[in-house]
Structure 1
């Protein structure tokens, strides 16, 4: 999909492009390619002289090749952007190419950060003045999106805390809590990776001296916002570990209760087993044969031997 954006009256406006002729007439500031087809790549190469290779968004790209400048002046940046939500959060690699005042972005999926920037740019005048502003605003929106996702983790962990710490936790409830905690831990880790990657990209833009004074200050503000997110992710890691340990502790308590029942039962059944074994021995004078009260006495003795441990355990509080 080919999305072309131009500046009109200080606002970012999307133009409908249906063929190469329409692209040739456009004077874009941002060209966004979502899973581009070979035909669309050919249009870009013919119109702007930018070649987009097949492996431009590969995840196995070397770290040293994520930020560099070509001899022809093309600036290349590879960044990861987060897709959150309840279902399978993940990071998506985006390739940026900045050439002759036009920003090209290539990615395989639609991204919430890109939708957010398009919405803001249409509604807010003078938000964007050139292609570098588009790139900075994307990183700014990415930091804000990460902050929103962190707030969602806070809310979800509060619900897990209410279930784990304020209610009786059975095995089923503990399993559900562990699954929820694992999901939030995965999302928190992805957010931390995402803000780390954004910090590297913004730092590269500042070091490359491609920004003017106003954009440089905006980049510094983005870095400060990212630094403020680090403490939140660290706190959430600690909270997740605490809830994980608490939930596992409740599971161990429930298992210990089951083991305690078997332990008490085995201890209580030892005396009657011993009595039955003694009475089952082949003595010359067997009580159950030589004494008319032999069987009732043996049965009563076994019942008493069972009751005595239970009474003792109950007084000690071991049966609670």
Structure 2
């Protein structure tokens, strides 16, 4: 789908499916969402730029993601999307900055894009040029990532409180459901923070490249925004790393609690087995079919045997408690 954004008489004009060369040249922002070959060809012919293919966008080497062709900058990075629905992933998005126009090529929709389009409808002054659109779009992406990291931090705090809930001193009160919920939350937190860090790393590379080419690509009044974006991105990278480390610590703590509970279960079975071994031995002895066993003719033989079995079970348990093993 091809969407153009143009400012006409102080108002935003957003049109879909426009392929006339003159209309494409007037557009400040051309957004290609899962473009067809015809749409790519129309934009290339009108703006005289090379639109990267999906295969080219997925290349990982920097020379294929960040490069300059004449007066055109082609910038590609992976961006996080789908966090709101829980079906999150990363998608490569290309920004082609040429003259006074910005062309974006994408195959998924991070929430920052529709939010920025809605902002442009209210404030058409954001569309003063292709460089302004790109930098404002980056600002929206950074704001969105900050919101995601804040929410992830809150989820992690809830998981932390659930992982360290205690009843009596020294008694962990986590159940199987609590442990499973904590593990799933921490797993999701780790995945989101990793993909957010990937997005921030890509943005940092783009801003570093644009900063080196700003004399050619960015107008003087917009160059100050690059420094602000770099500062914001670096602070979010540090925060994402902090959340990642915290998630790793909490995951280790939850796994430690699981190991402690499993150890307690195994210890209980071990104590029961040890406590039942002496009574089993006594019962085995008196179950033998020998002709000469004095206790068999004794009036108190049966209760004495029962007493011995009970005592042989109680004594090991008492000894274990005295040693602090129970």
Partner of 2:221: 214
- 2:183 counterpart (178, 182, 201): 178
Aligned residues: 316
* CA distance in 2: counterparts of 1:312 and 1:216, whole angstroms: 77
1:285-319 Cα shifts (integer Å, max 9, x gaps): 21343434333322221122112223344455644
* CA distance in 2: counterparts of 1:24 and 1:8, whole angstroms: 14
Whether contact under 8 Å (1:11, 1:121) holds in the other structure is no
Partner of 2:77: 79
CA 261–82 in structure 1, closer or farther in 2 if over 3 Å, else same:
same
CA 154–207 in structure 1, closer or farther in 2 if over 3 Å, else same:
same
Question: By how many angstroms is 1:136 displaced?
Answer: 1.0
Question: By how many angstroms is 1:220 displaced?
Answer: 0.4
Partner of 1:192: 197
* CA distance in 2: counterparts of 1:140 and 1:307, whole angstroms: 71
Question: By how many angstroms is 1:36 displaced?
Answer: 0.7
Q: Give the 5 Å matches for 1:244-259.
A: 244-259=251-266
TM-score, normalization by structure 2:
0.88
Question: By how many angstroms is 1:272 displaced?
Answer: 1.4
Whether contact under 8 Å (2:75, 2:96) holds in the other structure is yes
Match of 1:126, SS state, is helix
1:255-291 Cα shifts (integer Å, max 9, x gaps): 1221121111111112112323443456562134343
CA 57–39 in structure 1, closer or farther in 2 if over 3 Å, else same:
same
CA 38–224 in structure 1, closer or farther in 2 if over 3 Å, else same:
same
* CA distance in 1: counterparts of 2:241 and 2:16, whole angstroms: 44
CA 131–53 in structure 1, closer or farther in 2 if over 3 Å, else same:
closer
Q: Give the 5 Å matches for 1:52-91.
A: 52-55=51-54, 58-71=57-70, 73-83=71-81, 84-91=83-90
TM-score, normalization by structure 1:
0.90
Match of 2:292, SS state, is coil
CA 10–82 in structure 1, closer or farther in 2 if over 3 Å, else same:
farther
Question: By how many angstroms is 1:152 displaced?
Answer: 0.6
Whether contact under 8 Å (2:179, 2:254) holds in the other structure is yes
Q: Give the 5 Å matches for 1:42-121.
A: 42-55=41-54, 58-71=57-70, 73-83=71-81, 84-121=83-120
Partner of 1:15: 15
Match of 2:102, SS state, is strand
* CA distance in 2: counterparts of 1:60 and 1:241, whole angstroms: 30
Question: By how many angstroms is 1:12 displaced?
Answer: 4.3
CA 142–227 in structure 1, closer or farther in 2 if over 3 Å, else same:
same
Whether contact under 8 Å (1:10, 1:128) holds in the other structure is no
Partner of 2:157: 158
Match of 2:94, SS state, is strand
* CA distance in 2: counterparts of 1:112 and 1:306, whole angstroms: 67
Whether contact under 8 Å (1:5, 1:28) holds in the other structure is yes
- 1:203 counterpart (208, 213, 217): 208
* CA distance in 1: counterparts of 2:232 and 2:23, whole angstroms: 39
Partner of 1:267: 274
* CA distance in 2: counterparts of 1:277 and 1:16, whole angstroms: 89
Whether contact under 8 Å (2:74, 2:94) holds in the other structure is yes
Match of 1:166, SS state, is coil
* CA distance in 2: counterparts of 1:282 and 1:121, whole angstroms: 97
